[in-house]
Each structure stands twice: as C-alpha cells, then as structure tokens.
Structure 1
Amino acid sequence: MTHSSLRTNHRCRVLLACGLGAFLVLSLLLAISWGAASIPLGRTATYLWSAVTGGAISSSDVTEYTVVAEIRTPRAVMAAVVGAGLSALGIAAQAMVRNPLADPFILGISSGASVGASAVVSWGILSSFGVYALSAAAFVGALIASVLVYALSRSSGGIAPVRLILTGVVLSFGFQALMSAIVFFDAKGDAARTVMFWMLGSLGGASWAQLPLAGAVTLGVIAYLWYRAPDLDVLSMGDGSSASLGVDPEALRRRLFLLTVIGTATLVSVAGTIGFVGLVIPHLTRIVLGPAHRPATVLAPLFGAVFMVWVDLLSRFAVPPRELPLGVMTALIGVPVFVLLIRRRGYVFGGAR
C-alpha cells in the first residue's frame, strides 16, 4: 500500500470517527428528549445547560428539569458507556482467545453475576448496601466466576485459549443451573421475573452515582487496548509468531483476561447481561475498517455507544407502557443486520472465511 493510500485511509477513519461522535451527541439529545412525555429539543438543551452551569429554572419547569437531568440523562449516558465498554471488551476477548465467537461473557462472568443477583432477590444478601445490593452482589459473583475459570483453565504451560473457552462455557452452565435452583426454591415466588429481566439487561436503574466507575473503567479499557493495539495484531498471528516478534503471548493474555474480568464485571453489575453487543460490534467494525486493532479500538466503542443508545430508546417505545429488556432489542436489531453483513464476500477473521 502506498503512502498516499495510507494517508487517505487515515483521513477516512478520522472523518468516520468525527461523524460517529457527532451522531452520538445527537442520539444522546434525542434519547433525553424523547419519552413517555416528550420534551422539545430546545427545552432539553436549556435544562442540560442549567444542570451543567447551575443556572436557575422557573418553578413551572421543575418537573421537566428533573426528568431530563436526573432520570433520562444518566440513563442515556450509561447506555453509551455500556455500549462502548462491551464493544471494546469484545475486541479484548476475541484477541485473547483468537476466536470469532468470543464475547465478554465467554469467561462465565455473566452467569456468575446472575447467581449473585438471584441471591440478592431471593435471600436478601448484602441488604446493607441498600439500592446497590444487586450491583454489588452481581460484581462479586462475576469476580468469583472469573477466579474459578482462571484457576481451572491454567496449567504449567500457561493459559491455553481453547481450554479457557471450554472452562468458561462449562462453568457458565453450572452457574446458570445454580441460579435456576435459587430462583426455583424462592419462597416469595417473584424472583424469576426480576432475575430474568436483569439477566436480559436493563438501564432502568441507571443513576449519576453509578456513572463515574463505569465510565472510568470503560475509558481505561479503551486506552489500554489502543496502547497495546500493535501487540494485539501480533497476537492474532498465533503464539509462535508472537514470541518470534518479541511479544510474550502468555503475559499479554493474562493482562487481557484481567482487563476483561474487571470491565465486564463492572458493566454487568450496573446494566445486567446485555448480549450480542460485545460479539457483533467488533465484527461490524472489522467489516468496515479491516482487521487492524488500533482503528478498531477507537471506532468500535463509538459504534457500540450509538447502537446502545438507540437500542435503549427503542426498548422504551416498543411496547408502551412496558419496557422491553435490552437483550431482546439487541438481538432483534442486530441479528438480521449482522447476517446480511457477514454474508458479504471477503470478510475474514483469523484467516478463515
């Protein structure tokens, strides 16, 4: 590829990133403005400006201001953060195990989190955490599952990608069975619906208090992947090629494992299990940009953020006054789009069509 072609590709990627960033801002404004009681964009922007600057509002606008500033804005921003984070973690998981079917939940993290969540609903554990009991228990459950997967998949030769995947899948079934047993024997009898809705993903409980941690973790994941993008390109060639090119595949895989565990556990604890995003968005990004990891680590989070904001918005409008779980919407929208794109000739992952 000539130097001129490289410059053109770089310029196109920069323009695409700027375009996605602008569309993300517009999407956030629309998500904050639209709802059961829609608020005009002009007034929405005014309320947001007052919230940022501490400006005064009239007493007649207090209700609308509260809806915009305290309910819809943290939810819309959390949707963008979760979408960006899951997309970046999908890149990390697929690079770690060199498997196109990998996603952030391949390590059994979501199943472990579901056990913690069901324990809160059925047994009331960690009740001292108040409204954060569900998130805290899900986070702890996810970490326990990850430790078990790591311990059982590690051998004297390090972490083999195939063993890691198989261990994660097998333990996922075990944790799902344990969660089902907890819900089945629940004395109150209403745990199944609550746990199922949480497992399919929801941002109904998003708040400003949850955003700093989720946002910091997501930014940290993206920054690390961007910094190590050349090493991820080398790792995709195989362990032998990586070692010959000066990259320690075992050490890098351990770091990616830790990154995936912390990032996924954090996002699952605040939003539940939102499938499909971490699997599909990285592939859609590669279809558009090619296999290089550095542009993917910038644009995949933007794609994921935009996608998640619109998915959350549609979940609120699909069957009013009820709200569809996010996992249902991601599948309904993403599956047909992904099938159409994946059938395009020329898409390659890891050298296999």
Structure 2
Amino acid sequence: MTRAASPSRLRPPFPLVLLLLTAVLLLSMTVALGVGAVRVPPSEVWGILSHRLGLPWPAEATWSRARETIIFDVRAPRVLLGAVCGAGLAAVGTAMQALVRNPLADPYLLGVSSGASFGAVLMIVLGTTLFETRASLPLSAFAGALLAMVLVYVTSQVGGGITSVRLVLAGVAVASVFTALTSFLLLTAERGNESREVLSWTLGGLGGVTWDTLWLPLSVLTVAASFLMLQARNLNLLLAGEEAATTMGLSVHTFRIWMFVLLSVVTGVLVAAAGPIGFVGLMAPHAVRVVVGSDHRRVIPAAILGGAGFLVLADVVARTINAPQEIPVGVLTALCGGPFFLWLMRRGARRAEKGAGR
C-alpha cells in the first residue's frame, strides 16, 4: 500500500510561486495602465514607460503627447499606489494574524483602519498642520491606528486570553466607535472641501494620487516589508504559542509592542494615502498559505505580491464596471471580503467541532 503524499510535497516550488505571482502583478498593472476612457495597447504602455524612464527601447515615440501624459502622469501613480496599498495591507494582515494567533485578524476587521481614518479625518477637519510638514496626515492616521489597536488588544483580553470571538467583538466595537466619531466630524464640519475630503476617506479609493505623494507609502512599505522578513522566524515562533516562543528566547511582550507600533505606522500611512480599504489583509495571507504553507519566510513575500495584484485588479473593475462613474475600490473589496470572512468563520467552526469529537 502506498502512502498518500503529504500536503507539503503537493505544493509547487516556492520560486515558481513567486514567479507566477510577479507575472500576475505585472499583467494586472499593464491592464490597469491601458484600460480607461482612452484605451492604450500593452505594447504602447510599456513603450511610454520605457521612454519616460530613459531606456533605449523604443527608438522613437510613435504616440501622442496626450497619451503619454495619461499613462505616466495620471494612471501610473494610481496603479503604483494600488500595488503599494495592496502589498502593505497584506503584509499587515499576515503579521497581525501571527501576533494575536487568530486567522480572522485584519486591519480593517479589527477597527485599526477605522481608527486611522478617524485620525486622518480629524486632521482634515481641524485644518492644522503638525510641525508644518506634509507628514501631518500620516502622523494623525498613525496615532488613530495605534489607539485602535491598543483598545482592541486590551479589550479582547478581558476575562481571559484572546479568542476569535473576543477579538472580533472587540474589533467591531472599536470600529463602530471610530466610525461614529468620523460620521460626527462629517456632519459637523463646514460644508465645502473638508466635507468632500472626509467622505473620500470613509469610502476608500486610489484617485487623486500624484508622484509627489507616492514616496511616503512606498518608503514605509519597503522598510516594513524588509523588517517583517527579518522577523519571520519570530512570527513562526508565535504560532507555536507564547510559552514555546518564550522558551526559544523570544520576549513576546516586547516583540508585540514593537510590532504593534510598526503595523500601526503602516496602516496609518496607507489609510492617509487611500482611505480605509478592507479585507485585503484578511484574504491575501489565507490565499497564499494554501499554496506555500504557514512558514512566514514564504507567506510574507507571497502575500505581498498577491495583495498587490489583487488590489490593482480590483481598482480596474471599480473604474470600469459602471463607467464613466467610478465605484470606490473599498466598496468592491468589502463585497469580496464579506463572503470570505463568513467562509473562514464556518471553516473554523467545523474544525472546532471535529476537534471536540475526537
């Protein structure tokens, strides 16, 4: 009798997975750059990008100046922001699920995005500028995200350890409070630009971005992704439990504090750039774990690529499904994430029943 192949042997090679995810990301970005009111073929899209980047191909420009402006100055920043936000949210979701040892953890679901949105909206409504810098909005969003994360973590520990039910209930409660506060700011703000800006934060979207505003989220993502990769072993230790991680030399309490601060910074910057976009951090890690396993040295880079490609494609659908009117991409991700969340809850309940029956 032959033994059944283990799940790890059935998985494709990890380099091949990364290659496929990278190809999907590049393909989705090419589609996103070419689709719109003015359609541009893929060859022309890459020709324009190569020309603007100073590469030798193509030898001469065969497109109009208007098309070059549309691709490079209008669509390219938006597409790149979608990739950055998708990658960042996926990385944050992956780390949060390991930190609290809960598969339902997600910056949107746990109210962290709502806290960041409230901080950003408060700064917009007040019209103040911290230290007279452009970092005021991300700093305010970071403060709101950190406050929300602390509240959820502390509240979910009341009455014992963190469980799925306590975590979700605490996240729903905190998110409701911050959403109500944001709505209050929207109602009491002076009608005009502030009110419209506040509404754009609450819906979540990638429009209006320029090259000048991309450097901060891109820099934060680069630093955070590099740091998370260095901490992949410690995240793996947490999956075995706090006692096992402590035995292996990890200071769990200190590690969680620093990780919470880092994840709040990333969430705050992303919300400041694109508003609260939900469920990407929930779906991407689970999707790639099916293919690469649970080792965070593989999950983190795969989730980053998968989250980036997913959000870019979601934004393409949001722009075209009801053209010329544009649907906020946060609405579309919520429509995808809601059923996915219910499926995760159902799968968790089934596993609990099987465990109790043994």
Q: Secondary structure at the match of 2:323?
A: coil
Q: 1:58: how far off?
A: 5.9
Aligned residues: 345
Q: Is the 8 A contact 1:275 1:330 kept in 2?
A: yes
Unaligned runs of 5+ in 1: none
Determine the structure 2 residue equivalent to 1:142.
Answer: 142
Q: Percent identity?
A: 34
Determine the structure 2 residue equivalent to 1:50.
Answer: 51
Amino acid at match of 2:116: A
1:242 pairs with one of 242, 245, 260: 245
Q: How does 1:100-249 map to 2 (within 5 A)?
A: 100-105=103-108, 108-126=111-129, 136-137=136-137, 139-147=139-147, 150=150, 170-188=173-191, 194-249=197-252
Amino acid at match of 1:298: P
Q: Distance in 1 between matches of 2:67 and 2:265?
A: 36
Q: How does 1:239-278 map to 2 (within 5 A)?
A: 239-278=242-281
Q: Is the 8 A contact 2:124 2:194 kept in 1?
A: yes
Unaligned runs of 5+ in 2: none
Q: Secondary structure at the match of 1:76?
A: helix
Determine the structure 1 residue equivalent to 2:87.
Answer: 84
Q: Distance in 1 between matches of 2:29 and 2:69?
A: 17
Q: Is the 8 A contact 1:80 1:309 kept in 2?
A: yes
Amino acid at match of 1:236: L
Q: 1:229: how far off?
A: 1.7
Residues 73-94 of structure 1: per-residue CA shift (max 9 Å, x gap): 1111111111111001101111
Tell which deviates more after alignment, 278-287 or 68-77: 278-287
Q: Distance in 2 between matches of 1:299 and 1:149?
A: 25
Residues 91-148 of structure 1: per-residue CA shift (max 9 Å, x gap): 1111111122211246643223323443355443349979x6xx84354143245157
Q: Secondary structure at the match of 1:209?
A: helix
Q: Is the 8 A contact 1:20 1:303 kept in 2?
A: yes
Determine the structure 1 residue equivalent to 2:23.
Answer: 22
Amino acid at match of 1:177: A
Tell which deviates more after alignment, 274-283 or 201-210: 201-210
Tell which deviates more after alignment, 265-274 or 4-13: 4-13
Q: Secondary structure at the match of 1:174?
A: helix
Q: Distance in 2 between matches of 1:172 and 1:333?
A: 19
Tell which deviates more after alignment, 75-84 or 115-124: 115-124
Q: Distance in 2 between matches of 1:330 and 1:227?
A: 29
Alpha-carbon distance change, 328 to 17 in structure 1, aligned in 2, over 3 angstroms? same
Output the TM-score relative to the length of structure 2: 0.81
Q: Secondary structure at the match of 2:175?
A: helix
Q: Is the 8 A contact 1:284 1:338 kept in 2?
A: no
Determine the structure 1 residue equivalent to 2:35.
Answer: 34
Q: Distance in 2 between matches of 1:49 and 1:85?
A: 26
Q: Distance in 2 between matches of 1:255 and 1:345?
A: 29
Q: Does 1:298 align with 2:301?
A: yes
Q: Is the 8 A contact 1:85 1:218 kept in 2?
A: yes
Q: 1:53: how far off?
A: 0.5
Q: Is the 8 A contact 2:123 2:140 kept in 1?
A: no
Alpha-carbon distance change, 30 to 181 in structure 1, aligned in 2, over 3 angstroms? same
Q: Distance in 1 between matches of 2:241 and 2:130?
A: 47
Output the TM-score relative to the length of structure 1: 0.82
